């Protein structure tokens, strides 16, 4: 397919909240971790930090909560609760994710992941979900200097699969990621998760779908 005369040759995906239904589990983990540290309402902070890498989140917590926010301890607790929950309940794959990735590979689209999560975490959960095999490349939050909404992560993800941004589609669920992908020059599709698109975001995105399964008919030109 073509968009504005540019042939689409690659698909670049965010991960948390897009491929994996992980944001709600992170939110629960933050709430439990906050209570253990005597900080109420930590779960709500996720709405302000979606798409941030660890460096950006650390600074956000220092500014929003306190200069001496115990970030390392909070991260350890979050990891503990996150894996307690996923070991018990599993980590759900978002609707249509596996089908779209398989479709991409069988129809000669290059694929990459562009996630603010660390490489170790991302590779682990993608492997556990059975999705890792479908990717040709990717860039992780601990591989970039600037997090979303800076375009660095999407530019580097495109480089990892030798894709020109104008020949790529980006898939995102959060405003920061959308701004990042658009700034990098990708045509960007939103699949909302925890946040609905604002008027600003609606103007930035190329299309919006309820789930990734709706993207296949779009790529085939029937939507």
SS (H, E, C) the chain: CEECCEECCEEEECCECCCECCHHHHHHHHHHHHHHCCCCCHHHHHHHHCCCCHHHHHHHHHHHCCCCCCHHHHHHHHHHHHHHHHHHHCCCECCCHHHHHHHHHHCCCEEEEEECCCHHHHHHHHHHCCCHHHCCEEEEHHHCCCCCCCCHHHHHHHHHCCCCHHHEEEEECCHHHHHHHHHHCCEEEECCCCCCCCHHHHHHCCEECCCHHHHHHHHCCCC
CA distance 188 to 112: 14
- Token pair of 129, please? 């979900």
Domain ranges of the chain: 2-21+92-219, 23-89
The phi, psi pair for 99, rounded to 5°, reads -65, -40
End-to-end CA distance of the chain: 12
Supply the pLDDT for residue 50. 87
**What phi, psi does 138 have (nearest 5°)?**
165, 165
Per-residue pLDDT of the chain (223 residues; tens, 9 = 90+): 999 999 999 999 999 999 999 989 999 999 999 999 999 999 999 999 987 888 889 999 999 999 999 999 999 999 999 999 999 999 999 999 999 999 999 999 999 999 999 999 999 999 999 999 999 999 999 999 999 999 999 999 999 999 999 999 999 999 999 999 999 999 999 999 988 999 999 999 999 999 999 999 999 985 5
∠ CA 38-44-47, rounded to 5°:
140
Q: What pLDDT is attached to residue 55? A: 87
The predicted pLDDT at position 222 comes to 55
CATH (one of 3.40.50.1000, 3.40.50.300, 3.40.50.720, 3.90.1150.10) for 2-21+92-219: 3.40.50.1000
Q: Are 114 and 125 in contact (CB under 8 A)?
A: no
């Amino acid at each position: 397919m073509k968009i504005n005369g540019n042939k689409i040759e690659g698909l670049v995906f965010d991960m948390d909240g897009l491929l994996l239904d992980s944001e709600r589990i992170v939110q629960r983990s933050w709430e439990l971790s906050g209570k253990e540290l005597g900080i109420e309402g930590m779960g709500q902070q996720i709405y302000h930090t979606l798409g941030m890498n660890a460096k950006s989140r650390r600074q956000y917590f220092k500014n929003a909560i306190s200069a001496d926010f115990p970030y390392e301890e909070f991260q350890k607790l979050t990891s503990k609760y996150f894996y307690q929950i996923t070991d018990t309940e599993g980590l759900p794959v978002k609707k249509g994710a596996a089908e779209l990735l398989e479709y991409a590979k069988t129809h000669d689209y290059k694929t990459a992941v562009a996630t603010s999560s660390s490489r170790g975490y991302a590779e682990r959960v993608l492997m556990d979900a059975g999705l890792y095999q479908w990717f040709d490349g990717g860039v992780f939050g601990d591989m970039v200097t600037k997090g979303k909404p800076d375009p660095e992560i999407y530019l580097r993800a495109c480089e990892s699969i030798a894709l020109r941004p104008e020949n790529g589609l980006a898939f995102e669920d959060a405003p920061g990621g959308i701004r990042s992908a658009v700034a990098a020059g990708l045509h960007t599709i939103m699949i909302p998760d925890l946040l609905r698109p604002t008027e600003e975001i609606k103007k930035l995105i190329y299309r919006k779908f309820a789930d990734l399964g709706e993207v296949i008919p779009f790529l085939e030109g029937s939507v």
